[in-house]
């Protein structure tokens, strides 16, 4: 009985330290988990964002941008850019609504840079620079958010 109680106490004492450590560590882990990639803002570097679109916005260029968008982007972003393409449901974070004020307020250079870089489940666009700038022009003609 006595031995049992001591053993119990010993377990109780040594058991307290790991428990305390576990508590401290889980408390520290909470902020790290809260900053998951889904909530981390995606901001283009200032230099890239300042790059002007070298293409004149002609109806032909916008049309070229549109057909490239339908071929390479709409499966995720949806035909009107609302982030509702057939593949959207499988993506985390969800593909952005490209017609939203948050996206439309970004410069042509910033959108070009994000298209070129990709992030997470968004692949870097396999397009020439000229084609990417044409897609940017098309993005400006997307219908407004639903």
Answer yes or no whether residue 75 interacts with ligand HEC by CB under 6 A: yes
Give residue for tokens 């679109």.
Answer: 53
> Which is nearer to ligand HEC, 28 or 41 (by Cβ)?
41
Question: Coil, helix or strand for 60?
Answer: helix
CB of 34 to ligand HEC, least distance (A): 16
Residue 93 near ligand HEC by CB under 6 A: yes
In the 8-state DSSP scheme, what is residue 26? H
Residue number with CB closer to ligand HEC (26 or 37):
37
Distance CA 22, CA 79 (A): 49
Note whether 73 binds ligand HEC by CB under 6 A: yes
CB within 8 Å of 141: residues ≥ 6 apart:
62, 66
Only one of the segments 4-12, 24-32, 55-63, 118-126 lies at the binding site for ligand HEC (rule: CB under 6 A); that segment is 118-126
> What CA–CA distances, in Å, run from 80 to 10, 26, 30, 98, 145?
67, 43, 37, 8, 9
Comparison of 31 and 96: residue with beta carbon closer to ligand HEC? 96
**Taking CB under 6 A as the rule, does residue 109 contact ligand HEC?**
no
Q: For residues 48 and 129, give the distance between their C-alpha atoms in angstroms, rounded to a whole number.
A: 13
Q: Which two tokens stand for residue 143?
A: 């219908």
Could you say whether residue 55 binds ligand HEC (CB under 6 A)? no
* Crossing angle between the packed helical segments 129-139 and 108-117, to the nearest 10 degrees: 120
CB of 42 to ligand HEC, least distance (A): 5
Q: Which residues bind ligand HEC (CB under 6 A)?
A: 42, 72-73, 75-77, 87, 91, 93, 95-96, 98, 103, 106, 111, 114-115, 119-123, 125, 135
């Amino acid at each position: 009985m006595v031995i049992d109680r001591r053993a119990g106490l010993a377990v109780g004492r040594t058991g307290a330290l790991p428990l305390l450590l576990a508590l401290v560590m889980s408390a520290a882990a909470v902020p790290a988990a809260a900053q998951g990639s889904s909530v981390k803002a995606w901001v283009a570097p200032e230099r890239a964002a300042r790059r002007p679109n070298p293409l004149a916005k002609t109806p032909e260029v916008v049309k070229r941008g549109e057909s490239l968008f339908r071929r390479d982007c709409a499966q995720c972003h949806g035909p009107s850019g609302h982030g509702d393409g057939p593949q959207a449901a499988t993506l985390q974070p969800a593909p952005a609504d490209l017609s939203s004020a948050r996206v439309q307020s970004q410069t042509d250079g910033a959108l070009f840079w994000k298209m070129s870089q990709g992030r997470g489940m968004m692949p870097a666009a396999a397009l020439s620079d000229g084609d990417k700038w044409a897609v940017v022009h098309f993005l400006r003609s997307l219908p407004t958010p639903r």
